Amino acid sequence: MITSELKQRDITQNFINGAWVTPSTEETAPVFDSNTGSVIGSSPLSAEADVDAAVSAAKLAQKEWRTLSPSARADYLRAIARELEARHEELSQLIMREVGANQEISRGSQTLTPIASFNIAADILESYNFVENIGDNLVMREPIGVVGAITAWNFPLHLVTVKAAFAIAAGNTIVIKPSEVAPLTAAVLAEAVQSAKLPNGVINIVFGSGPDVGEAIVTHPDVAMLTFTGSTKAGMRIGALAAQKVAKVALELGGKSPLVILPDAPLQEAVEFGVGDLLLNNGQRCDGLTRMIVPKSLLPEVERIARETMDAVLVGPSTESTSEVGPLVSKTQQDRVLGYIDKGISEGAKLVTGGTDPIETAEQNSQGYFVRPTVFSEVTNDMAIGREEIFGPVLSIQSYSNVDQAVEIANGTEYGLHAAVFGSDIDAALSIAARLEAGMVTVNGGESDIRAPFGGYKHSGIGREFGRYGFEEFLEIKAVRVPKNFRN
């Protein structure tokens, strides 16, 4: 187990057909501690031959896996959940360093949601009706086959498990490419899968880059479905490649999510909620509320509350219990976010707080990938910071003259993943929620539920994850026409 005295973890093999297999290449990618910039591990940069081996194992295993009873598959899912729970602290420590997530979220949603995903998928599997009558037809839902999964680095374990749990619950097998930026938790998942004695080949993990391993998975003729979480640009590339072989795709992509604060909203509560949501996982969330849309008359007061709330946030190493915001995942991501802050200033947005000055940290953490939590005001949708996904702790405040204009500003983006509304009149808030072009809308700080669907409109993706909706993404639908005189 990795503790505060960090031991380097080097992944040297892929997980294929229930065993650790040496890759066909000798190249590796370093893994960095986001708090210090030091190397804490490595993973293979595999090649097409390794994908071929994994897909072959998955294809063979799926023939038998799909025939297991729902209760038998559910037992394996719950066994994996128990094994992940036994490794909870190890996983949390890795995520603090790989991603920079603070202790609360690393020990919380980053690691508990993956455990819940396997248990919830098992619950759905045991109660799901795979056959229903539609008039004179039987409608059957069946596994698709081999699923290829390509995931992002910001929730490295969750994004793998939310795909794997529901895909295998539905009777499919899966080949996973985790992000090379944050691959270490995927290796722990493989160990949990082994300990749970999951049949060989049901879950396979191939480490490597997107252009090499990712594209090999997408284009492989025996991969029947692709599920991807990442940037919209990469998702479009996957969709285009998958279309060439007419494979099903499920894409969870980017976001530029608005919070509409209505004129009658409790202002302090609403602004604090928006800032808090933005800063979860250090702003490294596709569904974070990055735009705050407020009445023009309340703009000065909103700026004051946002500045005071943001300035009170404790920034520091993710491994320290007092830190509320940690570093970003990599030097590349740090440079990207700082570049957007510079753009905001050059485009004429009002810098309320934050900026590009270095964060003061302890000497041993001076090379960490920190960015000051930043607030801009007087932002418009034609500014880069108003329309593009930044993926860091940067809030853009926009103002409106009437509620119709607020809705227009909120919807004036290519994305449609998440949105939020805050107002004292719940009926008025729900009316606005119905007009927002987003797959998920939070009203007055309502809680999410991982049994509810997760996904977006427009360039934010195709399909849904979580719960029954996510489970059904991994099923084919077959209509069987049976003559009445042959039916019971």
Where in the sequence numbering do the catalytic residues fall?
A: 252, 286
Strand runs (DSSP E) across 162-318, as ranges?
173-177, 203-205, 225-229, 248-252, 257-261, 289-295
Helix (H) / strand (E) element for 421: namely strand 418-422
Beta strands at 394-400 and 374-377: parallel, antiparallel or unpaired: parallel
91: how many CB neighbours lie within 10 A of its CB? 27
Within 8 A by CB and 6+ apart from 28, the residues are 10, 12, 42, 43, 44, 45
Instruction: Report DSSP state, residue 32.
Output: E
**What is the CA angle 26-28-32, rounded to 5?**
165
Beta pairing partners, 149: 176, 227
Residue from 397, 314, 291, 288 nearest 352 by CA: 397
Task: Report yes or no: 172 and 144 within 8 Å, Cβ to Cβ.
Answer: yes
User: In the structure encoding, which two tokens stand for residue 239, read together?
Assistant: 């969709």
Helix (H) / strand (E) element for 399: namely strand 394-400
